[in-house]
């Protein structure tokens, strides 16, 4: 949560036109030592 303003600025830079939904939560830890973020993606692929 301490990095919210930093993350928000970066997100705005890359997603200014599409504005995808996002969620920021405080986590006690990650499974990979030293990790600062986790990204979860759901995509629809047309065939």
pTM to 2 decimal places: 0.53
CA 35 to chain centre: 13
Q: What is the DSSP letter of 10?
A: H
pLDDT at position 13, please?
A: 92
Find, among 39, 29, 33, the residue nearest to 7 by Cα. 39
Question: Which residues span the domain enclosing 26?
Answer: 1-47
Phi, psi of 26 (to 5 degrees): -85, 130
Number of compact structural domains in the chain: 1
pLDDT tens-digit readout, 1-47: 788 899 889 989 998 888 888 888 888 888 889 888 888 888 899 98
pLDDT value at residue 25: 85
Q: How many residues are there in the chain? A: 47
Q: Which value, in Å, is the radius of gyration of the alpha carbons in the chain?
A: 13
Q: Are 7 and 24 in contact (CB under 8 A)?
A: yes
């Amino acid at each position: 949560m301490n990095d919210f303003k930093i993350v928000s600025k970066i997100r705005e830079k890359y997603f200014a036109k599409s504005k995808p939904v996002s969620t920021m939560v405080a986590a006690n830890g990650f499974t990979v030592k030293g990790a600062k973020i986790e990204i979860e993606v759901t995509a629809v692929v047309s065939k």
